[in-house]
Amino acid sequence: MISEAILTSLRDCLSPEKFTTSEFRDNKRIIVASDALYKTLDCLKNRCGFDMLVDVTAADYLHYPDAKDRFGVIYALLSTTSGRTGWNAKFTTCSAFILKATRTCVAS
């Protein structure tokens, strides 16, 4: 289940059209446009307690069905005070809170 407190904080920080959410297995995700990335990270850190960037990686969506963007940057966050690695404190440290920032890139 997605934490309503985090969603409320994000709605207060960003306009609702700036982000979407999804879940797959134990991963909780917020998908934001690249122009909303800083505000999203700032909100998740200062209002939601995610104070550690665990990992940054990228994905190439070239062959993904229905992909809207070619590349995505993925940020995994952790709350060191509560041990939360997602929207729900029950997840283990192997789980990740995922923030995907997308931007279409065209090769020249």
- What DSSP line would sit under 27-49, residue for residue? EEEEEEEGGGHHHHHHHHHHTT-
pLDDT tens for each residue of 24-83: 777 778 888 878 888 988 998 899 888 888 888 888 888 988 878 788 888 888 888 876
Residue 10 CB burial class (10 angstroms; 0-12, 13-18, ≥19): buried
Q: Residue 94's pLDDT is what?
A: 28
**In this model, does residue 103 exceed pLDDT 80?**
no
Q: Which comes out higher in pLDDT, residue 94 or 28?
A: 28
For each of the domains in the chain, give its residue range(s) and CATH number, in order of start.
Answer: 4-103 (3.30.460.80)
